[in-house]
Structure 1
Amino acid sequence: MDEKKEARPIRRVVIAGGGTAGWMAAAALSKTLGRVLQITLVESEEIGTVGVGEATIPTLVTFHRLLEINEQAFMAATQATIKLGIAFENWRDRDQHYIHSFGTTGKDHWTAGFQHFWLEGRRRGLARDYGDYCFELRAAQENRFAHLPNGGINYAFHLDAGRYARFLRQMSEQHGAVRIEGKIRQVCTREDDGFIEALELEDGRRIEGDLFIDCTGFRALLIGQALGVGFEDWSHWLFCDSAFAVQTASVKPPIPYTRSIAGEAGWQWRIPLQRRAGNGIVFSSRFIDNDSARATLMGSIEGEPLIEPRLLRFRPGQRHKVWEKNCVALGLASGFLEPLESTNIHLIQRGIIRLLQCFPAVLEQAEIDEYNRQAEAEITHIRDFIILHYHVTHRRDTAFWRAAAEMSIPDSLQHRIDLFRETAKVFRVPNELFAENSWIQVMLGQGLEPKSWHPVTGLMPDPELRGFLESIRGGVERGLRQLPVHQRYLETYCPAAD
């Protein structure tokens, strides 16, 4: 690159596309750097957004705190409910269910994690279900929630994605971000180095910038079409490539967890909001046709449909780079993992935080390379976690599940599976999203049984091990008695806005 071009300071940030990704970026940038940056977001009301990322994970709570977002106002505006985890139904096998909660299970010892003591207790007939030792999991089962002092309960949200984008837009504009209505006709690049210099709209306007953020969804107008960054396809591991989504009227009080219900060639989601429910089916077009998938979804919904089911096509995978030249891709433009563990909003958030932490005074290739390295590592670890749900299962009742069980998997995932099966040990890579307890809950829930565990557990006599386990379980049950019913808490804390 020409040195003069390379040293050009970043003053104008242009966000291409709105939706969840665009407005999360606008909100974060305007809140933190709005006094020194000109932030412009270009979107068209004629172009719809995917808008089905309505279940989140606890990192969004942290994101909101960093941006000083009032939680009650946010929850009321987005008709949000609380999420304590995900119930996986029929995944291990038909009629076998478990919950992947956001909590910590039991208490670790410095020599070994709690799962080792639980396994030894189960062998001796002293232990109850693994989930009985997790506060958040039991609260989900009992349909209870309340905020507790000192972060005493881990939680996330179910939210209306369209309302969330509008909420963030209002916040962004209050901090100086400017929205421009218009459809992008052309992405203009410089002849000498290929950097993006402007977005040309259909009415002829040119929106010039120094740094561009691609939030144009699956189209990836900037990172993919204009800059030619390729895509790594993961469909040989993740077979699902289609989804139908539909909203329905609420027919019962919302529960504080997402339901993920495995089917013949994929799975269905149910996400309870305060005024409605989100429903969908994620499926593989190789194993079931559109009409059958749609019929399966519509035959299982509860409540009157509020919209016609929408068909979404996607390809699981990631861009070879998510930051190329002066363009950063967020959300669907950067890659896609199906919403099985509600990670897509998290990946948007992490991309934004990473950008803020290394926000360039001028563009430096070393910093761009490090951003790409971290982004690749993060999504790869999440990819492995999602593959785990499909591969480790007792289901062999359909061609879809047989293929998932028999496929070759990434070496990185195979190592984790082998280690847990042989030793009950798990590990967490630095900056990895899912902690040890998440891996344990899913591995045990999917039917992966360790052959051995840490020998230190064998040194505890029965009365001591029983007392240790019961003290934890008793604490969980005492804590549950402090919590009101989820619906009752929502009615007083954040009643939905119209």
Structure 2
Amino acid sequence: MIEHRIRKIVIVGGGTAGWMAAAALARVLGSAPGLEIVLIESDEIGTVGVGESTIPQIQLFNSMLGIDEGDFVRETNATYKLGIEFVDWTRLGERFVHPFGFYGLDMMGIEFHHFWLKGRQLGDATPLNDYSLAIVAGLAGRFAHPRPDLPNSPLSKISYAFQFDAGLYARMLRRRAEAAGVARIEGRIVAVKKSSEPERIDSVELRSAEQVQGDLFIDCSGFRGLLIEQEMQSGYEDWTHWLPCDRAVAVGCENGGDRLPLTRATAREAGWQWRIPLQHRIGNGYVYSSEYVSDDEASAVLLSRLDGAPLGEPRMLRFTAGHRKRQWIGNVVSIGLAAGFLEPLESTSIHLVQVAIAKLLAYFPTLRFDEGEIGRFNAEMAQEFVDIRDFLVLHYIATQRTDTPFWQRCRTLTPPPGVQQKLDMFRTNGRIFREHNEIFTETSWLAVLTGKGIEPRGYHPVADLLSDQETLERLQNIRSVVRDTADAMLPQDEWLDQIRAQGRTA
């Protein structure tokens, strides 16, 4: 038996992050002899709860927990998501989609988009969107699950995520966690007792005077970072100079407008507005820079641009883009907003929670808390934030808008070195390289680079091994197959009707 085993894990804070951590730890570690997992949360303290849009990796997390997709869709009022539509980000009146999945078909050992670039030079002006099943189907309101049994079909590589009610998801996870033995303690933490050992916490004290001791503390307390910052004084890596938005106002509204399986991000005068269609409502928010618009003005803008009647009063969030300098210190690990925050432009908030949980499990400690492993966790999590930051920065700097002071500023931002290198290589010969195992693939970078109107001067020379005529014929055939496949897919609402019906008959 391993000596110095962790025997009690204390999760501070509920919400999506806290209950994701509780459910995952209970699932993986719950059978460890003598292990106790408790979660402390207070009904007095609200949760942010605006993270309703995800990326495909959420499927891996749900699968690990043994969550049936139909149950998940029914219990969280989820809809499907094939990508993110960006409106007015390049120029007013223009839009593009960042799809899940792939474009076209890679040929002759190189990426498809080099043949598309060659086709453009031959006079074929077909937009890149027409070669993505996720985009064509998404804009038509259609959906289908992947079909790996059809390797020659675009359906074999289609990918998808979900849009869902984060509060309902947290409740679903809470039920599963408690069924697996996690104990919930209601109460507000009023004091923290540190251990005699350096960088260790011994216990937390609740308003009721109850002392909750633990071996490992997981800080899911949100922006305030109750343990990781207020007690352990991690410090914060501030990226406001690259990502100037520092506020968000959010409100749900009644269903209205289209119900496409896409999240929509619409650029506004001083930031951007999200639109997330769920089964029972639409989630909306305006992410903005307080330097260019007041809170009252931002709320008014959001309320004037809803597709249905608002469901309640707008909620205000203040944040600083960046992350804790050390997300794990001693026996305290921060997850979720306690670890850092990057605006939800590419729906990565829940993903960062998922990654932190996976890495915590990979480096799960003993009471010795090996500094080498903790350092590795911190380095890997910092890189996750950097990778997402760089991709988000691309959305701002590659704009052609000059109509407001905010967008004028974005055009003059100096990008991080990695972003500039990607821009330079793409502009030259259309090449896209992926650092290490960064979350955003070549497809993701291609979608935004081309969507922002960046035109490469050349393409991979291997593309010229196909004759001009064959290149154009293959391009035409690929987009025909994509269009025909999308036409054969069911409307998303029919999928959702089937799932709800299955729940009623189960």
Same fold flag (TM > 0.5)? yes
* Residues 275 and 496, structure 1, Cα contact 8 Å, conserved in 2: no
Equivalent pair of 1:118/1:127 in contact (CA under 8 Å):
no
Give the alignment partner of residue 94 of structure 1, picking from 83, 92, 95.
92
| 8 Å contact kept, 2:71–2:503 | no
Structure 1 residue corresponding to 2:50, chosen from 41, 44, 52: 52
TM score, norm. by length of structure 2: 0.95
Structure 1 residue aligned with 2:373, among 359, 367, 371?
367
Structure 1 pair 214/495, CA: closer, same or farther in 2 (3 Å)?
Answer: farther
Within a 5 Å distance, the mapping from 1:237-248 to structure 2 comes to: 237-248=242-253
Kindly provide the CA deviation profile for residues 16-60 of structure 1, in whole angstroms up to 9, marking residues without a partner as x: 000000000001000111121211000001100000000000000
1:152, distance to aligned residue in structure 2 (A): 4.6
1:310 to 310, 315, 331: 315
SS of 1:405's equivalent in the other structure is helix
1:393 corresponds to which of 384, 395, 399: 399
Q: Quote the Cα distance in structure 2 between the aligned partners of 1:235 and 1:495.
A: 47
Measured after TM superposition, the shift of residue 349 of structure 1 is 0.2
Aligned position for 2:153? none
Aligned twin of 1:232: 237
Does the 8 Å CA contact 1:103/1:137 hold for their aligned counterparts? no
2:491 alignment counterpart:
485
Aligned counterpart for 1:341 among listed residues 346, 363, 371: 346
Tell me which moved more, 454-463 or 303-312: 454-463
Q: Match for residue 3 of structure 1?
A: none
Residue matched to 1:381: 387
CA RMSD across the alignment: 1.7
Alignment partners' CA distance in 2, 1:177 and 1:62: 22
8 Å CA contact retained: 2:101, 2:157: no
Q: What SS does the aligned partner of 2:497 have? A: helix
Change (3 A) 1:496 1:207: farther
Matched, 1:416 2:383: no
Q: Cα distance 1:114–1:149, how it changes in 2: closer, same or farther (>3 A)?
A: closer
- Runs of 4+ more than 3 Å apart: 494-498
CA distance in 2, matches of 1:451, 1:12: 59
2:277 matched to which residue of 1? 272
Q: How does 1:7-26 map to 2 (within 5 A)?
A: 8-26=4-22
More displaced 10-residue stretch of structure 1: 249-258 or 225-234: 249-258
Deviation at 1:352, TM superposition (A): 0.4
Determine whether 1:470 maps to 2:466: no
SS of the counterpart of 1:115? helix
> Secondary structure of 1:226's match?
coil
Identity of aligned residues (%): 46
Partner of residue 181 from structure 1, selected from 139, 161, 186: 186
Hey, what does 1:143 align to over in structure 2?
141
SS of the residue aligned with 2:53?
coil
Secondary structure in 2 aligned to 1:225?
coil
Q: CA deviation at 1:361?
A: 3.4
Residues 153-200 of structure 1: CA distance to partner in whole angstroms, max 9, x if unpaired? 311011001111000000101111111000011121113323011111
Aligned to 2:171: 166
1:430 aligned residue: 436
TM-score (norm 1): 0.96
Q: Deviations over 1:46-87 (max 9, x none)?
A: 100000000000000111112111111111111000011110
Q: Aligned-pair distance for 1:114? A: 1.3
> Using the alignment, how far apart are the partners of 1:194 and 1:373 within structure 2?
18
1:201 pairs, out of 206, 224, 240, with 206
CA contact (8 A) 1:378 1:431 kept: no
- Quote how far apart the aligned CAs of 1:467 are: 2.2
Tell me the distance in 1 between the aligned counterparts of 2:433 and 2:374: 28
Measure, in 2, the Cα distance between the counterparts of 1:20 and 1:274.
19
- CA distance in 2 between counterparts of 1:32 and 1:194 reads 27
Name the SS of the counterpart of 1:236 in structure 2.
coil
Equivalent pairs, count: 493
The amino acid that maps onto 1:178 is A
Distance 2:231 2:413 in 1: 35
The 3 A distance-change label for structure 1 pair 487 and 286 is same
How far 1:112 sits from its partner (Å)? 2.8
Provide closer, same or farther for how the CA distance between residues 108 and 279 of structure 1 changes in structure 2, counting only shifts above 3 A: same
CA contact (8 A) 1:75 1:496 kept: no
Paired residues for 1:252-331 under 5 Å = 252=257, 254-331=259-336
* Structure 1 counterpart of 2:408: 402
- Show the counterpart of 1:154: 159
1:41 to 27, 30, 39: 39
What's the CA shift string for 1:396-434, capped at 9, x where partnerless? Answer: 111111111112121111111111111210111222100
For residues 378 and 10 of structure 2, the distance between their equivalents in structure 1, rounded to whole angstroms, comes to 20
- For 2:282 and 2:503, the matched residues in 1 are separated by 16
Secondary structure (helix, strand or coil) at the match of 1:186 reads: strand
**1:35 match: secondary structure:** coil
Q: C-alpha distance in 1, partners of 2:261/2:400?
A: 28
1:116 aligns with 2:121: no
Three-state SS of the structure 2 residue aligned to 1:92 is coil
Q: Which position in structure 2 is the counterpart of 1:4? A: none
- Looking at structure 2, the residues matched to 65 and 263 of structure 1 have their Cα atoms a distance apart, in angstroms, of 37
CA distance in 1, matches of 2:24, 2:269: 41
Bigger mean CA deviation after superposition, 142-151 or 295-304: 142-151
Match status 1:223 vs 2:219: no
Which residue type is aligned with residue 124 of structure 1?
Answer: L
Contact 2:251 2:284 in 1 (8 A): yes
Q: CA deviation at 1:252?
A: 4.9
Q: Taking structure 1 as reference, are residues 267 and 121 closer, same or farther at Cα in structure 2, changes over 3 Å only?
A: same
